[in-house]
């Protein structure tokens, strides 16, 4: 993986002040160096500047960027972040038309495909990506983002200048890009957060290119093209054919995502999702005489303090051991302690440039850092629950009829800690309802679906559009912060398109959660793992961790100059900190309960201070 960043103005002449704009490009590569520590480069022309940092995974010797191609006396330039999984097919199509290649990199194939077919060529690309193409002849820049938003891409406009970057911090390298937040941004943090509505980057006038979109910008304006979207269609396959096709699509996605010129590893939790990915990887590597390396995560003293609840019924460790024995993998058990997890809360904000999933993020940041010491590429089991219907809100009637985002069924835990003036300004219920109504209107239900099935389809769409995006953001920032590329086979386009339309009576046949996935994976795993009850990413239950967070937030509240004091009711927060937290009643998702609220408030305060965010209400 890599980072991309740059700027373009159809009326500019950057060559007139070349040193200044080259320095901006250098600064962009500096702040994004963690995403691509192997190499960096930039190019500046009259209208456009492009910058790139590279994590070398494919074509280690000749894949430098920006990549430039000249034809007809004009230059075409590309910077690319991601991996392309159907590269041989795309390359063969171009070769049949007479193209020859100077490198073995995917960037060259993409650039030549753009030249041959135009921007809609992206519809034929299978992979995870964000990339930019500058067309000098027509003085137009194009920004592209993959189908599900696995790879990030942010942008802002200053008059006619488009500035873009893989991370928000890159935008702030350009003069006069301001860190400010208005009521919409604060609603994103307090009403939806740590999720974000598609396209929102929280900061005022800063946006994220939506998944499945590309934009073009030139002297005639800016155009957004939605080149792909999830569609509702009748499912015609029999149950048996559905299981067989799912097995093919899943195993094919995993195999294709093993492409790499450096060693690949997997995350292994002992659940069905990561175990299936690891099993297919282990079998493929075994054919080459290579042993798979796997990693699992846990927290210090969790064997002593773990508390089973409806969202997290069991610990991972016993199931991990069974899978390690089954796979015969080279396994590494990683453990995070309280101090490390708390200390990395702020670095998690640095990675996102925003408040995020609190210690659910900071712990993964630590684990990815440890994995990156020996590997550059990891395959994960992320996104299976969103695609195959593994979450409680797919199965419980109160969620299906809630008429709101099911992972945030109530705003009360959030609202109770905010100041009265902020609550008046935000109108949180109205904001959430507006975003929810807009989102569910994007997906069509089928005429034959009853109310429950229609709601399930809507929840399925929202999971892919919102909840999955939050987890993909987390996976990208925590891994790329240490130069680790995380791949997500369950977010394969063909697999998601197919499973989205499989009826619920197949997905949950005989009351089995994620039944289609489990049946399609028979023979790949021991049944004890295959039919294990879902348990999400682990978190700590250590009382000392909660005490540490409370102490730190109390220190923040004791200072008169902390920015969060403008937003919360101090006395209510202090009262909250003096009472034991409920670990089994999340205010977001399955994991973010009382201690994570404390951590989230710490992150918000740090974010406001570090970025010197102006609050505009």
Q: Which residues are catalytic?
A: 2
Non-local (6+) Cβ contacts of 400 within 8 A are 393, 394, 406, 452, 455, 456, 459
Q: Burial of 207 by CB count in 10 Å (0-12 exposed, 13-18 middle, 19+ buried)? A: middle
Non-local (6+) Cβ contacts of 287 within 8 A are none
CA atoms within 13 A on the CB side of 173: 27
> In 204-330, where does DSSP find H-type helix?
239-256, 272-287, 302-305, 317-327
- Decide if 188 contacts 434 (C-beta within 8 A): no
Q: How many CB atoms lie within 10 A of CB 92?
A: 12
Single out the residue of 163, 144, 188 nearest to residue 48, CA to CA: 163
Q: How many residues does the chain have?
A: 617
Q: Burial of 459 by CB count in 10 Å (0-12 exposed, 13-18 middle, 19+ buried)? A: buried
**Could you give the C-alpha distances from 123 to 59, 225, 252, 299, 467, in angstroms and in order?**
24, 11, 19, 42, 24
Give the β-pairing of 2-8 and 39-44.
unpaired
Q: How many Å apart are CA 433 and CA 67, to the nearest integer?
A: 45
Single out the residue of 328, 314, 311, 324 nearest to residue 268, CA to CA: 324
């Amino acid at each position: 993986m890599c980072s991309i960043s740059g700027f373009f103005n159809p009326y500019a002449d950057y060559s007139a002040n070349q040193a200044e704009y080259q320095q901006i490009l250098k600064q962009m590569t500096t702040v994004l160096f963690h995403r691509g520590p192997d190499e960096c480069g930039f190019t500046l022309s009259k209208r456009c500047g492009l910058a790139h940092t590279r994590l070398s995974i494919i074509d280690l010797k000749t894949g430098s960027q920006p990549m430039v191609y000249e034809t007809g006396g004009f230059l075409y330039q590309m910077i690319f972040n991601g991996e392309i999984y159907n590269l041989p097919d795309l390359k063969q199509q171009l070769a049949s038309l007479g193209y020859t290649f100077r490198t073995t990199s995917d960037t060259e194939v993409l650039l030549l495909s753009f030249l041959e077919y135009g921007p809609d060529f992206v519809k034929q690309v299978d992979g995870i990506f964000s990339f930019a193409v500058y067309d000098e002849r027509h003085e137009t820049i194009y920004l592209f983002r993959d189908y599900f938003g696995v790879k990030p891409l942010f942008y802002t406009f200053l008059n006619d200048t488009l500035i873009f970057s893989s991370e928000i911090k890159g935008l702030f390298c350009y003069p006069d890009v301001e860190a400010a937040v208005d009521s919409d941004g604060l609603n994103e943090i307090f009403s939806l957060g740590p999720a974000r509505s598609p396209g929102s980057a929280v900061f005022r006038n800063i946006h994220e290119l939506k998944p499945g979109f590309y934009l073009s910008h030139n002297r005639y304006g800016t155009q957004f093209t939605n080149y792909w979207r999830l569609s509702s269609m009748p499912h015609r396959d029999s149950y048996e054919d559905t299981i067989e096709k799912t097995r093919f699509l899943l195993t094919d996605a995993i195999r294709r995502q093993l492409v790499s010129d450096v060693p690949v590893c997997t995350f292994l939790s002992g659940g069905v999702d990561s175990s299936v990915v690891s099993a297919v990887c282990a079998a493929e590597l075994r054919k080459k005489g290579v042993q798979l390396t796997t990693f699992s995560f846990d927290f210090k003293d969790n064997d002593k303090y773990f508390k089973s609840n409806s969202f997290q019924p069991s610990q991972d460790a016993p199931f991990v051991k069974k899978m390690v024995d089954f796979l015969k993998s080279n396994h590494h058990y990683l453990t995070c302690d309280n101090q490390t997890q708390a200390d990395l809360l702020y670095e998690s904000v640095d990675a996102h440039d925003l408040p995020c999933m609190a210690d659910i993020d900071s712990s993964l940041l630590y684990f990815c850092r440890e994995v990156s010491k020996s590997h550059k590429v990891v395959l994960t089991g992320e996104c299976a629950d969103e695609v195959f219907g593994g979450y409680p809100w797919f199965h419980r009637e109160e969620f299906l009829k809630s008429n709101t985002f099911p992972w945030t069924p109530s705003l009360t835990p959030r609202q109770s800690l905010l100041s009265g003036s902020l609550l008046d300004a935000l109108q949180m219920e109205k904001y959430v309802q507006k975003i929810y109504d807009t989102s569910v209107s994007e997906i069509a239900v089928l005429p034959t679906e009853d109310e429950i099935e229609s709601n399930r389809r809507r929840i399925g769409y929202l999971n892919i559009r919102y909840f999955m995006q939050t987890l993909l953001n987390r996976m990208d920032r925590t891994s790329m912060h240490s130069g680790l590329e995380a791949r997500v086979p369950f977010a394969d386009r063909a697999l998601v398109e197919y499973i989205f339309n499989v009826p619920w009576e197949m997905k949950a046949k005989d009351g089995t959660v994620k039944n289609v996935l489990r049946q399609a994976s028979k023979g790949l795993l021991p049944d004890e793992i295959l039919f294990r009850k879902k348990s999400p990413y682990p978190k700590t239950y250590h009382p000392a961790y909660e005490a540490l967070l409370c102490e730190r937030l109390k220190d923040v509240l004791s200072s008169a100059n902390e920015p969060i004091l403008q937003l919360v009711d101090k006395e209510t927060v202090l009262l909250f900190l003096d009472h034991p937290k409920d670990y089994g009643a999340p205010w977001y998702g399955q994991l973010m309960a009382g201690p994570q609220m404390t951590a989230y408030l710490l992150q918000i305060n740090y974010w406001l201070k570090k970025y010197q965010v102006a609050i505009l209400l």
